[in-house]
Chains A and B, each alone.
Chain A
Amino acid sequence: MGDVRLMKGNEVIAEAAIRCGCDGYFGYPITPQSEVLETLAIRRPWEETGMVVLQAESETASINMLYGAASTGKKVMTSSSSPGISLMAEGISYLAGAELPCLIVNVQRGGPGLGTIQPSQADYFQTCKGGGHGDYKLIVLAPASVQEMYDFVELGFELAFKYKNPAIILSDGVIGQMMEKVELGEYKPRWTAEQIQEISGSWACLGKAGRERHISTSLELDPYGMEKNNLRFQAKYREMEAKEVRYEMFDCEDAEYILVAFGSSARICQKTVEIARSKGLKVGLLRPITLFPFPTPIIRELAGTVKGFLSVEMNAGQMVEDVRLAVNGKVPVEHFGRYGGVIHTPEEVFDALKQKLIGE
């Protein structure tokens, strides 16, 4: 085993950024994710790896700093929590429209509005269905442990550059604030100018020398041209759906009922599965790791063998819509969740399962 530590999820995001060769972080304080910027400020990576860290004047500024830095082919990221992500929505749409690779982290809190600083998963729609304007998709990774907070920083960058698309880690206040054992990876050097040239040289804005000028833009005034751009985006999203779906299954082999949950809700549901199994009920858990692309094919497959699904989310019912689309009416699909910053217990989930699906 390598470098194993006990760390907070938010601290780990900062540590992962430094170790994976990130070039720059731009962010604005907001609970429950402020430790990301604070950890970076303590770590001073600019002295160690040359990574730039800047506290922006707002989330509007952070996301646009990200847009500028990403336009030069560098590995850059920002993090925030729900209200801050709302403020970034315009910039996120521009990033997707200009096809810029970058990483965004949302450590969700309860809303709407200023809401609460307690954990929530109520930004599923915002993250997976839009948030900003236009037909775009983000690559959405949902960590369920502090280890995944670490691992998904590098994975997020990898996918973002592979598809020239923003990636987002959709975390929540539980994962951001809790401390767990985490194995930190090796330090990877930041890309050299030559590597950036090789990876992003065909589009990055680094100064026009002996080539056509590069323009980083989402603007295309000709509607037919803009439709063409959209067709290109859609083809990319279909490719992600074909190649990048990630999920995890617990006890699904013989399951009659399946809980579908992501992030911290999935951690709670693991316990619910144990409770159910101890009472002789055949219950399994499907944990989507990518929320876009959504694990539609496996849910569709399971719908042929199980009696029902319960989508368990810390919101009023958002991912359940995608589960229903996948199941397409074959078996009942219900939702359970506490919301506004309240976290459900394994027992509450078990009761809901019995009430809504098993019928007791």
Chain B
Amino acid sequence: MDVKDIIKPENLVYQKSHVLTDNVMHYCPGCSHGVIHKLVAEVIEELNIQDKTIGVSPVGCSVLAYNYIDIDWIEAAHGRAPAIATGVVRVNPDKYVFTYQGDGDLASIGAGEILHACNRGENIVVIFVNNAIYGMTGGQMAPTTLVGQKTATTPYGRDVNLNGYPMKITELIAQLPGTSYVTRQSVQTPAAVRKCKKAILKAFENVGNKKGTSFVEVVSTCNSGWKVDAVEANCWMEKNMFPYYPLGDMKDSEKESPESFK
């Protein structure tokens, strides 16, 4: 059989989501943002909510997320995406509103906004891309940078006496009664990608069911910032980040009674 005979509409098993634009992504090869964007777009397409979804993009490498996912977007000031999403959803309770934030954006400059939005139980999705570094500004220390990890501002490795400890903000957020679903995922293998998509799907479904805040952390790579190649970055993440940031659901109100969080 010739290849031409195989490439036919009836044999189609996968295609690019129509919620993704044709713009060439500016992300470095190996970066996790592209895969996560794809998953968000696929979920929006599958739930058929393109016309009711409003994304809030952060300041960070994904500041231009609005060039890639074909929905209405609001571009936030650094760290303020959860407050912006709050404003949107409070006056438009019928919309699917999500923030898409890096670790510097969410856990450092925006730590106040994310905690309070989650504590109020804003009916939104938060996609939290934790690559343990500030990608956009050239690889400085993030609140999630591991102890000993070298960055532009911790050239000798993160020193706890100087910089404190890597922040497990997702664990903090899971404590808040306003959140209904809190999970930590990754996208370094096809299996991980599929699991992560399920988590994102569930988070968006929760918005439709008015469940409060659903929070999906994706432990991610930044090979440029980490100064390793893409394959090595995946290995480094599995070896160093997963033990400190273990994957899996931290809270799922579907499985546990919401009262147990209150």
Q: Which A residues have a C-beta under 8 Å from some C-beta of B?
A: 23-24, 26, 52, 54, 56-58, 60-62, 64-72, 74, 76, 90-91, 94, 98, 205-209, 213-219
Q: B154 near A: Cβ within 8 Å?
A: no
Minimal beta-carbon separation of A50 from chain B (angstroms): 9
A65 touches B90 (CB 8 A): yes
- What's the Cα separation between A7 and B75 when bound, in Å? 40
Within 8 A of A (CB), among B106-148: 112-113, 116
Q: Which B residues have a C-beta under 8 Å from some C-beta of A?
A: 50-54, 56, 63-64, 66, 70-77, 80, 83-88, 90-92, 95, 112-113, 116
By a CB distance below 8 angstroms, the chain A residues around B66 are 213, 215, 217
Which residue from chain B places its CB closest to the CB of A58 in the assembled complex? B112
- What's the Cα separation between A98 and B87 when bound, in Å? 16
- What's the Cα separation between A205 and B73 when bound, in Å? 7
Per a CB cutoff under 8 Å, which of B52, B80, B95 touches A60?
B80
A71-B74, A207-B50, A217-B74 known, 11 other contacts, Cβ within 8 Å: A57-B116, A61-B80, A61-B113, A65-B87, A68-B84, A68-B88, A74-B91, A90-B77, A205-B72, A207-B95, A209-B51
Minimal beta-carbon separation of A208 from chain B (angstroms): 5
B83 touches A56 (CB 8 A): yes
B63 touches A219 (CB 8 A): yes
Per a CB cutoff under 8 Å, which of A56, A57, A205 touches B54?
A205
- What's the Cα separation between A65 and B91 when bound, in Å? 10
Which residue from chain A places its CB closest to the CB of B70 in the assembled complex? A213
Minimal beta-carbon separation of B106 from chain A (angstroms): 14
B77 touches A24 (CB 8 A): no
A-B contact pairs, 16 of them (CB 8 A): A24-B90, A52-B90, A61-B86, A61-B116, A64-B76, A68-B84, A68-B86, A68-B87, A68-B88, A208-B72, A209-B51, A213-B66, A213-B70, A216-B73, A218-B75, A219-B64
A65 touches B86 (CB 8 A): yes
Which residue from chain B places its CB closest to the CB of A95 in the assembled complex? B77
- What's the Cα separation between A26 and B74 when bound, in Å? 18
8 shortest interchain CB distances as A-B pairs: A68-B87, A68-B84, A65-B87, A217-B75, A64-B83, A209-B51, A69-B87, A205-B72
Minimal beta-carbon separation of B50 from chain A (angstroms): 6
Which residue from chain B places its CB closest to the CB of A203 in the assembled complex? B72
B51 touches A67 (CB 8 A): no
Select the residue from B72, B86, B113 with max chain A CB neighbours within 10 A.
Answer: B72
Minimal beta-carbon separation of B110 from chain A (angstroms): 9
B83 touches A61 (CB 8 A): yes
By a CB distance below 8 angstroms, the chain B residues around A68 are 56, 74, 83-88
- What's the Cα separation between A215 and B53 when bound, in Å? 12
- What's the Cα separation between A216 and B13 when bound, in Å? 36
A64 touches B77 (CB 8 A): yes
By a CB distance below 8 angstroms, the chain A residues around B113 are 57, 60-61, 64
A207 touches B87 (CB 8 A): no
By a CB distance below 8 angstroms, the chain A residues around B83 are 56, 60-62, 64-65, 67-68
- What's the Cα separation between A303 and B73 when bound, in Å? 50
